[in-house]
Structure formats: structure tokens, C-alpha cells
Amino acid sequence: MAGDILVVAEHQAGTVKRPSLEALTCAAGLAGSLGGSVVALLAGDGADQAASACGQHGAARVLTLDVDISDTTAWASAVAGVASHESPSLVLFSQSNRGKDLAPRVAALLGLPLASDCTNISADGGALVARRPVFAGKALVNVTATGTMLATLRPNAVSASVNPAAGETSAAEITAPTRGLGAVLAEIVAAASEKVELTEAPIVVSGGRGMKEAENFHLIEDLATALGGAVGASRAVVDAGWRPHAEQVGQTGKTVSPQLYIAVAISGAIQHLAGMRTSNYIVAINKDAEAPIFKVADYGIVGDAFEVVPRLIEAVKELKAHA
């Protein structure tokens, strides 16, 4: 219905992913202004188990899809079918790897505009206003839509909060085919790790070429562990083979928007800034007082990383010990 917001939520083994909970929170805040409600859409095995979490974060209704989500073409067709049936004002995805793949396909099928990588979505009368970065993050623009639009929300742009709604669960009514339409994702191979995913981490500690060699990155890892965050790296570090590409932050790496971003021994090239400048708070540690990173930092420490970081680690551990 007009005014409703359809959130395409992702889950893993029945647990809703945090960026999707953030999208539900964003939608819940918008729905009142639009005179509608939030409808969550879940697909794949475990969707029924994930439904209650969607209700706890603002979904008045939860729809489940019987579709093979390993076939992205089929999944997109099914989502487009649900969106056509529901006729919402906004179809919202998270800016995850799957969301970035799924949203453009759905937009093309529906013939509707898509605002990607949004940092904020608001209502202005009957119109929707999406804020998103352009020119490699050097500027932010507001995109206004008076009709139905699709959008992807950048992880950590909104803090997920509990906002209980009815959460009524039912099977989605669709006429679109649900399988056998295209390439199938046969397997996801990921390194076994209990570390926080970089793009979803609330705190990111990144190291640059000023760390001098790969062996010194234990300082970055130790600080990230002490803070409960993830490790990032500049392109120069990745190109040198010190860290894997999965940790690269920047224009040719990953875009992060954590609550706290700590840049250690990173000069602040524009390509790196494109991947982290929307962080809520930026702390820069660099011995060069003229380093460009200080222009975007909320707090700056001019000093040798090999002296500053160990003291920060000790301070964090001490605070936690007395918490």
C-alpha cells in the first residue's frame, strides 16, 4: 500500500543480519511520516525463524518467500513480484554484497529508480529524500523521489533499535517464477573467523604504510581486539602484501561507516577518504602534523604510532578492567 515500506531483510541460519535490522529501524522511523507501516520480506531456509526479530525491530507484517536465494535472478524476480503486489512507497535493502547485487536487478524489473549506498533517508511531505555520497565520497547529494523508489542503506548509517510491532507472519503472494532462471551460487567459501565483519563493525582500526612492515600490524590487531572492532588497511599496505584485500578501505576497497574509525599511520589520500569519511567519529594518529587525514579527523594525535598505539591499548584495557 502507498505509504508502506518494504524491507528486504537478509538472514543467516535464521538470524537477521545487523544491517537489515538497521534498515528496519530506518523504515520504522519513516513509516509514520508516510502514513504507512513496515513490511519485512524474508527468503530462504530459516526465514520463519528470523521473522520474530523483524517484528521486534518495527515490522508490522513479515512476508516469507519460498525461493532459492542462491539463484539471484530468481530471487530478484520474486522480490519484484512481491513489490508489485504490495505497491510500497519505498523498497529498502542493506548495502551488503547481496543487497548491491539484488537491488539493481529488482529496480530494472520494476522500472523504478534506485538510490544506492544511502547514509540517510527522510520524508519531505509526500516525497522521499535519500542522501548518498558522490564523486568518490567527496560530496553528499540529496535525491528526491515523488513516486515509488528503491534504496540501499549503508551499514552503520543508522543504529539498530528495538521498536516492537505486530510482526504478523504470512507467506508472500507472488506470481513470479522462483527458481531456475539464471546462474546459481553453488557455495560460499569463507575463511573461518570469529572476527567482526569489516563493513558491519561499529569500530574500525586501520593501519597505513607508516606501520613500516607487516609484522608491526600486530599493534593494529591488538588495538582493534581491545576495542572490539575490526582491522582495516590502506591500499598501499594491501599492495605491499602486508594485509589481505578483504581489509582494504577506500575507493578500490570497502566502504565503511563505523561509529569510530581510527586511522593509524595513514596519510589520508582522497582514495582512502572515499571509503571512510562518513564514519561518525574519526581519530587520526600520524607523526606528520600536515597529513591530509587531519583535515577530516574529529580528533588527531600527532605522534609516533609505535609509541601512541601501545599506550592506547593499555588505556583501553585498564578502562575495561575497571568497568
C-alpha–C-alpha distance, residues 108 and 171, integer Å: 24
- The mean pLDDT of 197-220, rounded to a whole number, is 95
Q: What percent of the chain has pLDDT over 70?
A: 92
For residues 158-181, average pLDDT: 70
CA torsion angle 120 122 128 131 (round to 10): -30
Q: By C-alpha distance, which of 27, 49, 42 is closest to 171? A: 42
Identify the pLDDT of residue 233: 97
Q: CATH classification of 198-321 is 3.40.50.1220, yes or no?
A: yes
**End-to-end alpha carbon distance in the chain:** 48
| Domains of the chain by residue range | 5-171, 198-321
Q: How confident is the model at residue 86 (pLDDT cuts 50, 70, 90)?
A: very high
Burial grade of 253 (CB within 10 A; 0-12, 13-18, 19 or more): buried
pLDDT in tens, 107-139: 999 999 999 999 999 998 878 999 998 887 778
Backbone angles phi and psi of 214, in degrees to 5: -60, -35
Q: What class is the 5-171 domain?
A: alpha beta
Average of per-residue pLDDT across 16-38 = 92
At residue 3, the pLDDT reads: 82
Q: Is 205 in contact with 279 (CB distance < 8 Å)?
A: no
The pLDDT of 193-203, averaged and rounded, is 80
CB 28 within 8 A of CB 57: yes
Which residue reads 578501505 in cell numbers? Answer: 249
Confidence label for 1 from pLDDT (cuts 50, 70 and 90): low
- One fold for both 5-171 and 198-321? yes
What's the rounded Cα separation, in Å, for the pair 265 and 216? 12
